[in-house]
Structure 1
Amino acid sequence: MSLWELFLIAVGLSMDAFAVSICKGLSVGAVRPRHALTAGLWFGGFQALMPLLGWLLGSRFQALITSVDHWIAFVLLCAIGGNMVRESRTCGACREMDASFAPKVMLPLAVATSIDALAIGVTFAFLQVDILSAVCFIGAVTFVFSSAGVKVGSVFGTRYQSKAELFGGGVLIGMGIKILLEHLGVLG
């Protein structure tokens, strides 16, 4: 997997965290640097941890499903991307979100926004991705987007929330199609 492809996946995965960070920025009122740092660390950390866990799971079963791994990657990426596209079409306004950045508030948000990264980690096991550099890269990209999302939310409100989810979903679907077409020999 090229750096460009990994970047696209990282951006796609970070869009859920970006959307939630926008809501956090909207809910907190006066945004301080510690708010952006906290959101970036929680979301970036979990976006790095979950693909690693998925990769560990996928690596254990890789030998059993090597002949269909490209189909699994295609289905997982398209399902995750399709769900993000569907969510982008629902009400774009943020639900009443707790303005707190305390661990009891951030932990469930970080887990919820990174579940899709767990599935991506499974596909990484099939694609022979250098997992340590991939998870560090994904975590860093998500950190940047989440930190920026807090500020975007305080300045622009929810204007970019649904667009971010739509874009992220489209990227993941596109990557799934590309992986399938490469394994079928359509793309070289």
Structure 2
Amino acid sequence: MNILSSLLVALGLSMDNFAVTVASGCCHREKVPFSYIFKVSICFTLAHFIMFSAGWFCGAEAARYIGAVDHWIAFLILVFIGVRMIKEAFSSSDEESACSFHSLKTLLALSVATSLDALLVGMGMAFASSVFWPTVCMLSLCVFVTSWAGFYLGAWLGHKFGKLMEGLGGLALVSIGVKLLLEGLGI
């Protein structure tokens, strides 16, 4: 596998991540500190790195168990958080949304939901005898950059358009969850 192939795999795996960070960034209507966006980006990057590496080293046995339920896990997490965002967008409160990344539990849940594909791709890449380090490094770089850019873009949209963007962000999370479920079910 060459560098271009590694880049394409990395970009493909980071697209759901980008959409989720844009949607979640929309919860913020105030300027988000640099350190906070860095923390979010690192969390998503580590989740992808760990999942891809675990997939690479675990092999087919784990694929049989994880592959059967990964789409359901991602669906439930994304729909739950998306519905909370939509509900918050329609509330009369002007406070910062409870569904934003301020909760470590929410951040970790979204990180896991968006990185489940990396587990299965890691398994597939191991069976294809692809090189590990260039691929996982490219993946980590792409996830970090897309998380940073997505969250920053979402926060800018949230600041500019307020609750409308928070509602649309929640709808995007629900849509991503449904898409992942349908793909996992073969529909």
List per-residue Cα deviations over 1:1-58 (Å, max 9, x = no partner): 1111111111111111111111221112222212321121011111111111111122
- Residue 9 of structure 1 is matched in structure 2 by 9
- Residue 84 of structure 2 is matched in structure 1 by 96
List per-residue Cα deviations over 1:139-162 (Å, max 9, x = no partner): 111001001101111223458x69
Asked if the contact 2:10–2:143 (Cα under 8 Å) also holds between the matched residues in 1, the reply is: yes
Name stretches of at least 5 consecutive residues in structure 1 with no aligned partner.
62-75, 170-188
Mapping of residues 65-144 of structure 1, within 5 Å:
94-97=82-85, 98-144=99-145
CA distance in 2, matches of 1:154, 1:102: 16
- Residue 33 of structure 1 is matched in structure 2 by 34
Q: Answer yes or no: is 1:52 the counterpart of 2:40.
A: no
CA distance in 1, matches of 2:107, 2:25: 13
2:18 maps to a residue whose letter is F
Q: Give the alignment's TM-score, normalised by structure 2.
A: 0.63
Q: Secondary structure at the match of 2:127?
A: helix
Among the aligned pairs, what percent are the same residue? 29
Name stretches of at least 5 consecutive residues in structure 2 with no aligned partner.
86-98, 158-164, 181-187
Pairwise CA RMSD: 3.4
Deviation at 1:60, TM superposition (A): 7.8
List per-residue Cα deviations over 1:89-131 (Å, max 9, x = no partner): xx9xx54341233422211111111000000001111121221
How many residues were matched structurally? 142
2:37 maps to a residue whose letter is A
List per-residue Cα deviations over 1:41-87 (Å, max 9, x = no partner): 011111111111111122789xxxxxxxxxxxxxx9xxx9xx8xxx9
